[in-house]
């Protein structure tokens, strides 16, 4: 019996992934750019069990049903095919993201699962191969393999991995907005957008151009340009989503209030730019030196967490 444990952190995209070119291989329609965080780690242990007849999943201490385990089993099937194994596994995952926050737990979750499963099944994969593997579980997980800033490339199965990108000294202030209603998952929201949003083709072409500009801004350390790109890209993503049918809207009044406060901060001369994923939380990008100023300006509305660039996925134990 072989066991391995891995830790991974969530990431927040500055240029978003929203739409697939291939759902089976989980290939994105466009590339994306993100920062892996130093908060909210997920720790996952995979134990390969030659005697087990089915995979099991324990999440934050409670055993999950067959449906929840299905996505993990489908992912483990990819690992088993690579490893030439038919053995089932027990997966035990502890996620420190507060459940109301709904912060990209699939990114840290599948990055940690990819690392632990690869090690437990005896695969020796480099960062590129691990990123491609994590992508099969969840697209954004490909980026959580990488520390700090990462670009995840669109392309074929072989070409679609994330790799590190040099970046200036940045931080993110996470505003944890609890919408109170059950969100539509990224996967379902994306599918709905691709199938029904008339703006989707424009989103794809503009995001490809945006990514090139963002990579250049990042490499050149042009924080103002990168910030502007980040906020514009987030609003474009929410615009293409909001044009879907049936209607789909992730941002709430509180989310908009935070975007307003960030705009006022900029008017006061502080470099701060807002983004939001498929939920009501808003994440504010700023220079590391401005993180406290930004946090103070947002105080009083919702819980705030300051995050910095964090580590990539690490295998912390194997036996
Ligand atoms: C809005 O990676 O969760 O956070 O590949 O279907 O698992 P799947 O989707 P997922 O989508 C993330 C969407 C996003 C934007 C981003 O992180 O780039």
pLDDT digit string (tens) for 164-176?
A: 999 999 999 999 9
The predicted model gives 201-218 an average pLDDT of: 98
Whether the predicted pLDDT of 179 surpasses 80: no
Give DSSP secondary structure letters for 275-293: E--SSS-EEEEEEGGGHHH
Residue 216 has pLDDT above 70, yes or no: yes
* Proportion of the chain above pLDDT 70, given as a percent: 97
pTM of the shown model: 0.97
The pLDDT-based confidence of 1 (bands split at 50, 70, 90) is low
Strands 88-95 and 56-59: parallel
Distance from C-alpha of 240 to C-alpha of 243, rounded to nearest angstrom: 5
CATH code for the part of the protein at 3-166: 3.30.230.10
Distance CA(87)–CA(176), nearest Å, equals 40
pLDDT-based confidence at 98, cuts 50/70/90? low
Nearest to 28 by CA among 148, 112, 143, 166: 143
Ligand 1 contact, 277 CB (< 6 A): yes
pLDDT at 103 over 90: no
Domain boundaries, the chain: 3-166, 170-307
CATH entry, 170-307, from 1.20.120.1200, 1.10.10.10, 3.40.50.2300, 3.30.70.890: 3.30.70.890
43 Cβ inside 6 Å of ligand 1: no
Lowest mean pLDDT among 17-21, 64-68, 82-86, 268-272: 64-68
Nearest ligand 1 atom to alpha carbon 107: 2
pLDDT averaged over every residue in the chain: 95
Tens digit of pLDDT for each residue in 22-49? 999 999 999 999 999 999 999 999 999 9
* Radius of gyration of the CA atoms of the chain, in A: 19
Closest ligand 1 atom, CA of 15?
18
């Amino acid at each position: 019996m072989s066991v391995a444990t891995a830790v991974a952190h969530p990431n927040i995209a500055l240029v978003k992934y929203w739409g697939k070119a291939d759902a089976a291989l989980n290939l994105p329609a466009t590339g994306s750019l993100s920062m892996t965080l130093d908060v909210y780690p997920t720790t996952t242990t995979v134990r390969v069990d030659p005697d087990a007849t089915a995979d099991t999943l324990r999440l934050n201490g409670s055993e999950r049903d067959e449906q929840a385990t299905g996505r993990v089993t489908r992912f483990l099937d990819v690992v088993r095919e690579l490893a030439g194994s038919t053995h089932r596994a027990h997966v035990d995952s502890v996620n420190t993201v507060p459940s109301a926050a709904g912060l990209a737990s699939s990114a840290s979750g599948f990055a940690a699962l990819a690392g632990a499963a690869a090690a437990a099944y005896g695969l020796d994969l480099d960062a590129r191969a691990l990123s491609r593997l994590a992508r099969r579980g969840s697209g954004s997980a490909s980026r959580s393999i990488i520390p700090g800033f990462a670009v995840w490339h669109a392309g074929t199965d072989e070409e679609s991995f994330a790799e590190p990108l040099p970046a200036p000294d940045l931080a993110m202030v996470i505003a944890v907005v609890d919408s109170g209603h059950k969100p539509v998952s990224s996967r379902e929201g994306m599918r709905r957008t691709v199938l029904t949003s008339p703006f989707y083709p424009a989103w794809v072409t503009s995001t490809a151009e945006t990514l090139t500009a963002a990579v250049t801004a990042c490499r050149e350390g042009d924080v103002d340009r990168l910030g502007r790109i980040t906020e514009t890209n987030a609003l474009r993503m929410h615009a293409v989503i909001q044009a879907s049918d049936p209607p789909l809207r992730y941002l709430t009044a509180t989310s908009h209030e935070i975007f307003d406060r960030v705009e006022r901060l900029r008017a006061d001369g502080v470099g701060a730019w807002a983004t939001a994923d498929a939920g009501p939380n808003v994440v504010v990008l700023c220079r590391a030196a401005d993180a406290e100023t930004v946090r103070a300006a947002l105080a009083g509305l919702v819980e705030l967490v300051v995050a910095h660039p964090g580590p990539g996925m690490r295998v912390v134990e194997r036996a």
